[in-house]
Amino acid sequence: MAKGSYSAEDIKILEGLDAVRMRPGMYIGTTSVKGLHHILWEIVDNAIDEAANGYCNRIEVKLYKDGSASVEDNGRGIPTDIHPKSGVSGVQVVFTQLHAGGKFGDGNYQFSGGLHGVGASVTNALSEWLKVEVYRNTVYKMEFHSFLDEKTGKIKSGVPISPLVDTKVKTKKRGTFVRFKPDARVFETVEFSIESILKRLRELAFLNKGLTIDFYDENTDFHRVYEYEGGLSDFIKYANEGKTILYGEPLYAKAEKDGIIVEFAIQHTDAYTDSVFSYVNNIPTGEGGMHETGFRSGLTRCFNDYAREHNLLKDKDDNLLGDDFKEGLTAIISVKMQNVQFEGQTKNKLGNPEARPAVEYVVINELSLLMKNKKLGKTFDTIINKALGAAKVRLAAKKAKELARATKSLESANLVGKLAACSGRKPELNELFIVEGDSAGGSAKQARVRQTQAILPLRGKPLNVEKKKLDQILQNEEIRTIISALGTGIGSDFNLDDLKFHKVIILSDADVDGSHIRILLLTFFFRYMRELINEGHVYIGMPPLYKVYKGNVEEYAYDDKELAEKIEKVGRGYQIQRYKGLGEMDAAQLWETTMDPAKRNLMQVNIEDAAEADRLITVLMGDEVAERKKYIFEHADFDRVDKFAKIKRS
């Protein structure tokens, strides 16, 4: 088309593209590298739509040495015939009319838009040039340029340099090829980030099962192909890489309800939080929205039904809550629908209310079908058991919260009786010793530095961990005293700023009971005061195992290697005392060996120790008697139990 021969309609359209160039931010948000990618995704999205509608299965993305990029699909090809309303070819409409995407076609072309929905014309407007080829028996070509208008001194954007031409060159290919060069006068940078392109292409390949996405960068000769036969199931496996999964194959389903296509995959790990990723028309919805809400309520309904049918929940039990099913859940939900409305701060929350019941319906329907599959029985049982565990902790935490509240209101009288508080008011200097046994507790009280060291004795065998469940443990008075002594609250109420002792030191015997107490306390801290461990406030005190002495000379040994050294040091005529428990030491000895900051051995507990303890407590408190016996047998040796903790002298 020669200059000057535009119809009034053309001119209006071209003004549209100029408007894009005047205010790119209005159309693509930013002219940073993000905006640069945006105009690539506009093109890719069109090809993805063609794939989502089942008309193509291969997309190639290529970066060239001249800074241009191309996208090619093997779909039906952009319509080449004259578009009745505008009197120009479909191709021309697509590249010159704003928001043209999805405005024409056969009604199958329905899943376009959303985030990148401004259309291919925006890419054209912000490019130095753009070339398109359509393969429909013959090769059709058209080219657009941006150029400086000498009359006005302004840049005219995306001007067709000819109408769509049928070159009559025969081709066996089918599809659309678009190559464009982002305009350096528009963007802050015209250098694509390979890393973020690959990330998105991989995501698109996951989201569109069976679609092959081929990427090639001429500059670096880098080639990568993404193709996932498993679709969302493969996505889940990828997301769970490096995590401990609770069952092998993800649960997967895809179905349509009321014109909304719903697809989801689920797999559980041993994590405590959930990782749910949702999409609408291939666009990530980081803030969730109606589809996610429907997904979660469908899941909760379905799993509860299963739990009752299989007697994992008894008649008297309350239903499990949505939150219970969050533990360890990795899920991906992808919906495809029309007229998408985005909401929220960053406009990535799905607002369409109709998405909610549609997703819920599909989830319930499809999961119910899977639940009938005997082979998946173990998987569903595992999921329910994980949620039952979460519910137990939730109920226990609730009780503990109530107890802690009650404890707070209790005038400290009856608790302080056990807790020998310290007088200093600087938490960073204060230490709380949790001591096994009244007799060691008594020695510790005598030996301590009153200003900075507080003592809480744990009576005799207060915590028979083999028989007690966590919620019962939380009713234990000593535990309640620990909660009130630390001052932080527990669970979601936990506040580290209120911590009254920056060192919490567990002092227990070098035997099986002692190790139980350590494990139990660590588990308690891990489940209810995790930050205490994360921030390094929890320690295990290390009493010596031996005293080597001769006359006035006394040396302590904390392990067998040290014992040999000390024997040598003390020399001929030495005697050895082996300590079986803290109670065998008098106050002076306890001070010297275990409590004196200048001489003692402390182990700082790290998070893996606590996580390991958490796992072990399940064994110790569970119903698996054989497992428990085995554990106790294996860990009867004190040194081995304390492998949990990283040694750090303090």
Q: CB 208 → ligand TSJ: shortest distance, Å?
A: 14
Q: Which stretch binds ligand TSJ (CB under 6 A): 69-77, 209-217, 344-352, 534-542?
A: 69-77
Q: Per-residue string for binding with ligand TSJ, 165-194, x by CB under 6 A?
A: -----------x-x----------------
CB of 120 vs ligand TSJ, minimal distance in Å: 3
Nearer to ligand TSJ, 10 or 72 (CB): 72
Matching residue, tokens 């000895």: 589
366 catalytically annotated? no
Contact letters for ligand TSJ, residues 140-159 (x by CB under 6 A):
--------------------
Provide, rounded to whole angstroms, the least separation between the CB of residue 2 and ligand TSJ: 24
Q: Please state the closest distance from residue 107 (CB atom) to ligand TSJ, in A.
A: 8
- How far apart are alpha carbons 228 and 207 in whole angstroms? 9
Number of amino acids touching ligand TSJ (CB under 6 A): 18
Instruction: Report the chain's terminal Cα–Cα distance, integer Å.
Output: 83
Residue 120, interface with ligand TSJ (CB under 6 A)? yes
Beta bridge partners of 155: 148
Q: Which of 16, 24, 35, 75 binds ligand TSJ (CB under 6 A)?
A: 75
Least distance from C-beta 177 to ligand TSJ, angstroms?
7
* Helix residue ranges, H only, 376-476: 377-409, 413-416, 438-447, 470-473
| DSSP string of 57-73, one letter each residue | -EEEEEE-TTS-EEEEE
Tokens of 134: 């359509």
For 250-348, where are the E strands, in sequence order? 251-257, 260-268, 275-280, 283-284, 329-336, 342-343
- Using CB under 6 A as the binding rule, whether residue 94 contacts ligand TSJ is answered as yes
Catalytic: 249? no
Question: Distance of CA 90 to CAs 85, 96, 132, 243, Å?
Answer: 10, 10, 12, 49
Range in contact with ligand TSJ (rule: CB under 6 A) among 17-25, 42-50, 265-273, 533-541: 42-50
Beta bridge partners of 439: none
Q: Which is nearer to ligand TSJ, 96 or 304 (CB)?
A: 96
Alpha-carbon gap, residue 568 to 550, rounded angstroms:
12
Is 513 marked active-site? yes
Judged by CB under 6 A, does residue 46 bind ligand TSJ? yes
- Catalytic residue, chosen from 366, 513, 592, 642, is 513
Distance CA 522, CA 649 (A): 19
Q: Which part of the chain contacts ligand TSJ (CB under 6 A), choosing from 104-112, 213-221, 317-325, 370-378?
A: 104-112
Stretch that binds ligand TSJ, among 68-76, 237-245, 312-320, 357-365 (CB under 6 A): 68-76
How are beta strands 503-507 and 538-541 bridged, if at all? parallel
| Among residues 47, 52, 118, 207, the one that binds ligand TSJ under rule CB under 6 A | 47
Those residues whose C-beta lies under 8 Å from the C-beta of residue 235, and which sit 6 or more positions away, are 203, 206, 207, 228, 265, 277, 332
Catalytic entry in 249, 305, 511, 637:
511
As measured in angstroms, the least distance from the Cβ of 192 to ligand TSJ is 16
Tokens of 422: 């310290």
Q: Measured in whole angstroms, how far is the alpha carbon of residue 104 from the centre of its chain?
A: 40
Does 105 participate in binding ligand TSJ (rule CB under 6 A)?
Answer: yes
CB of 125 to ligand TSJ, least distance (A): 13
Q: What is the DSSP string of 270-286?
A: S-SS-EEEEEETTEE-T
Alpha carbon dihedral 360, 363, 365, 370, in 10-degree steps, equals -160
Residue linked to tokens 């679709």: 231
Which of 21, 76, 116, 500 binds ligand TSJ (CB under 6 A)? It is 76
Check 18, 49, 50, 436 and give the catalytic one.
Answer: 436
Stretch that binds ligand TSJ, among 43-51, 329-337, 464-472, 501-509 (CB under 6 A): 43-51
Contact assessment for residue 290 and residue 352, using Cβ atoms and an 8 Å cutoff:
yes
Stretch near ligand TSJ under the rule CB under 6 A, chosen from 45-53, 464-472, 499-507, 575-583? 45-53
Residue 95 beta carbon to ligand TSJ: minimum distance, rounded to whole angstroms: 7
Site for ligand TSJ contains 397 (CB under 6 A): no
Nearer to ligand TSJ among residue 124 and residue 589 (C-beta): 124
Q: Which residues pair with 454 in a beta bridge?
A: 432
All residues at 6 or more sequence positions from 506 whose CB lies less than 8 Å from its CB, including other chains: 434, 517, 518, 521, 522, 538, 539, 540, 541
Residue span binding ligand TSJ (CB under 6 A) among the ranges 105-113, 215-223, 377-385, 502-510:
105-113
Nearer to ligand TSJ, 43 or 387 (CB): 43
Using rule CB under 6 A, residue 50 touches ligand TSJ: yes
Q: Tell me if 604 contacts ligand TSJ by CB under 6 A.
A: no
d(CA 4, CA 21): 21
Q: Does residue 109 touch ligand TSJ according to CB under 6 A? A: yes
Measured between alpha carbons, how far is 454 from 197 in angstroms, rounded to an integer? 58
Minimum CB separation from ligand TSJ for residue 188, in Å?
A: 23
**Under rule CB under 6 A, residue 60 binds ligand TSJ:** no
Check binding of 78 to ligand TSJ (CB under 6 A): yes
Q: Percentage helix, strand, coil, to 5, in the chain?
A: 40, 25, 35
Q: Does residue 324 interact with ligand TSJ by CB under 6 A?
A: no
Write out the two tokens for 520.
Answer: 């139990």
Q: Is 509 a catalytic residue?
A: yes
Tell me which residue of 137, 143, 142 sits closest to 169, measured CA to CA: 137
Q: Which residues are catalytic?
A: 436, 509, 511, 513
Which residues contact ligand TSJ by CB under 6 A? Answer: 43, 46-47, 50, 71-73, 75-76, 78-79, 94, 105-106, 109, 120, 176, 178
